[in-house]
Amino acid sequence: MSQYTGVAVSPGRVIGTIRSMAPPVAEPPVDETLPAGADPAAEAARIPAAAAAVQATLNRLAERASGEGRKILQATAQMAADPALSQTAHGFVVSGGKSPARAVWEAGDQVASMLEGLGGYMAERATDVRDVRARIVAELRGEQPPGIPETEEPFVLTAIDLAPADTATLDPSRVLALITSDGGPQSHTAILARQLGLPAIVAAKGIHQFPDGTEVFVDAGLGTITDEVTEEHHRFAEAWTELQNNPLTYEGGGGVLADGTRVQLLANIGSAADAEKAAAAHADGVGLFRTEFLFLDREDEPSIEEQTAAYAAAFAHFPGKKVVVRTIDAGADKPLPFLTDADEPNPALGVRAYRTSWEKPSVLSHQLDAIAAAAELSEARPWVMAPMIATAPETEDFVAQCRERGLEPAGIMVETPAAAITADRHLAACDFASIGTNDLTQYTMAADRQLGSLAHLNNPWQPAVLALVKATCEGARAAGGDPESFGESANKPVGVCGEAAGDPGLAVVLVGLGVNSLSMTPRSLPAVATVLSTVTLAQAKDLAAQAVAARTAEDASNAVRAGLPILGELGL
């Protein structure tokens, strides 16, 4: 028997046969040059033709995809059409005598290295460049590019990691589960798997020891894969299949615990289109409106009028309901030419989010003006919060700017350990807090969330992270003067809007720690509501105490799962 463990990013329990991604395109030899007598100009002309063929293929795939997958494929197709790579490779052939394949390989490295040097969001595009490079080389050689296997029977897909173009074409009717040896919980692979509801595990080192054709049981709630498939595993898999055939439903009204305690279940959105989907899923409101998506891929700041229209369009889907608006979270993995410094040596710890207002206050000021104007045009109840807050004076400054514009309630994101530990002082100055578990985990564990090699640390089940969630809730209660206040009636409510909120087991823990509202992708609402309905607040508090006291993240998860048999019954 063999068993491997990775980081669970999208729950589900399945039994299936492993099929591996096709191997990467082999690097052309360093000394591969043009054959004797070849016409350099003619050989170089093959490169843009191959790039055009790759672009056409990606565009065809995009037409068959939808949503985020289509956007990724379209963006990758545009990268294939970018003349920078072809022109650089052309020079290597004509001036350097390299073969077209070798020229493209080196040109791709050059462009990718340049993007990596820029850091942040641009550095992430380096992977896309290398994917396009491999596809062009395969086209030049007449080979099939690497990709998802084509088989009639459904299978468990294993890979080192998936390129955006591959991830975007995942078909849940054929792929039972996805397991990668690299990647992290915030990689595009993990994010898309969650959106598709596809069981997925990342950073599962050793997974490639299983040869193709091996039957395995995948528990994507625990993050384990084993080739010793038992009768119990079959029962778990059957429960998951039953859940897919008869999915859970959520009709709104919040998560109601077994004792009647009510917890708001909200949705994370980035646009009016997302808001429409969230409303259709009966979300009780919006717990995180990521406004930076309006700013990305732009050279200039959008006007107040443009921002107002975008915010009002999203608000329109939630009349009379709470919409928590996060002000621009630029920097780190989301650089903006007009606002952030691409040359920061460590952008995740640099001038990002609220901190950008220190030197360029007008961008935040204009955004708050636009949110206030949109609120006047809408019946929604906007709550506004600032990300990346660390000190009480920062909170006081942001709240003052909100109050000047009549934007209330005004709050903060708790993403730094500093804000969690001193939550009483922050909540004394603001109206609410929302915990971003993705960044709070990254900063607590000193582990870049973009690095697959640190994925085991970037786990919100880490007891240290849960202890900081508890500290935040206790600080809020102290600031509100009522240690027993809970739900929407809490004097100083605390929400969670990171990925942890959509994990049904972890949602119970968060409520037990004192969190008043949970915000997640709309797909997660039914499972979270169902699992919450099986516990009382007292039971949730007991499970939360066990998780905080656990020695490791794995111990914390195991203890809570043992106390929530509903997870196994649902195959989660």
Tens-digit pLDDT profile for residues 517-564: 999 989 899 999 999 999 999 999 999 999 999 999 999 999 999 999
pLDDT above 90 coverage of the chain, percent:
58
Q: Are residues 129 and 229 in the same domain?
A: no
User: How far is Cα 40 from Cα 25, in angstroms, rounded to an integer?
Assistant: 24
Which two three-digit tokens encode residue 266? 């909200």
Residue 35 lies in a domain: no
Q: What is the mean pLDDT of the chain?
A: 89
Which two three-digit tokens encode residue 64? 């068959």
502: Cα separation from own chain's centroid: 12
Residue 387 lies in a domain: yes
User: How far is Cα 344 from Cα 338, in angstroms, rounded to an integer?
Assistant: 15
Residue 33 lies in a domain: no
The domain spanning residue 459 has which CATH number?
3.20.20.60
Q: Is the pLDDT of residue 361 over 80?
A: yes
Q: Are residues 445 and 487 in the same domain?
A: yes
Say whether 497 is catalytic: yes
Contact 179, 10 (CB under 8 A): no
pTM: 0.77
Which two three-digit tokens encode residue 128? 């896309």
Which two three-digit tokens encode residue 177? 């589960």
Alpha helices (H) along 6-154: 40-64, 67-81, 83-94, 100-118, 120-141
Q: Are residues 70 and 134 in the same domain?
A: yes
Residue 63 lies in a domain: yes
Instruction: Among 223, 245, 267, identify where a domain stops.
Output: 245
Q: Is the pLDDT of residue 253 over 60?
A: yes
Kindly name the residue from 402, 430, 473, 497 that is annotated as catalytic.
497
pLDDT of residue 571: 80
In this prediction, residue 335 has a pLDDT band, given cuts at 50, 70 and 90, of: low
Residue 186 lies in a domain: yes
Q: Are residues 421 and 360 in the same domain?
A: yes
pLDDT of residue 344: 67
Residue 146 lies in a domain: no
Q: What are the CA-CA distances from residue 72 to residues 46, 56, 111, 508, 525 (Å)? A: 26, 14, 19, 34, 25
264 CB contacts (<8 Å, ≥6 apart)? 254, 255, 284, 285, 287, 322, 487, 488, 495, 516, 517, 518
Q: Are residues 533 and 408 in the same domain?
A: yes
Residue 135 lies in a domain: yes
The candidate with the shortest Cα–Cα distance to 275, out of 328, 330, 334, 323, is 323
374 CB contacts (<8 Å, ≥6 apart)? 307, 308, 309, 311, 312, 315, 382
Instruction: Among 189, 219, 245, identify where a domain stops.
Output: 245
Contact 235, 217 (CB under 8 A): no
- Name the one residue in this structure whose structure tokens are 């809007």: 497
Q: Are residues 301 and 241 in the same domain?
A: no
pLDDT of residue 121: 59
Q: Are residues 316 and 228 in the same domain?
A: no
Residue 265 lies in a domain: yes
Say whether 402 is catalytic: no
Residue 221 belongs to domain spanning: 3-18+152-163+171-245
The domain spanning residue 240 has which CATH number?
3.50.30.10
Q: Are residues 355 and 482 in the same domain?
A: yes
Number of domains in the chain: 3
Residue 487's Cβ-side half-sphere holds a number of Cα atoms within 13 Å equal to 11
DSSP-assigned beta bridge partners for residue 155? 175
The domain spanning residue 93 has which CATH number?
1.10.274.10
User: How far is Cα 47 from Cα 196, in angstroms, rounded to an integer?
Assistant: 35
Q: Are residues 202 and 72 in the same domain?
A: no
Instruction: Among 218, 245, 272, identify where a domain stops.
Output: 245
- Name the one residue in this structure whose structure tokens are 């809490």: 490
Other C-beta atoms lying within 10 Å of the C-beta of residue 271 = 16
Q: Is the pLDDT of residue 332 over 60?
A: no
User: How far is Cα 180 from Cα 205, in angstroms, rounded to an integer?
Assistant: 8
Q: Report residue 18: phi and psi, to 5°.
A: -75, 135
- Name the one residue in this structure whose structure tokens are 């409520």: 511
Q: Are residues 383 and 524 in the same domain?
A: yes
Q: Are residues 156 and 271 in the same domain?
A: no
User: How far is Cα 7 from Cα 10, in angstroms, rounded to an integer?
Assistant: 9
Kindly name the residue from 90, 188, 233, 317 that is annotated as catalytic.
188
Please give the residue that has the higher pLDDT: either 470 or 485: 470
Q: Are residues 321 and 218 in the same domain?
A: no
420 CB contacts (<8 Å, ≥6 apart)? 414, 435, 440, 468, 469, 471, 472, 475
Tens-digit pLDDT profile for residues 419-463: 999 999 999 999 999 999 989 999 999 988 777 778 788 889 999
pLDDT of residue 420: 98
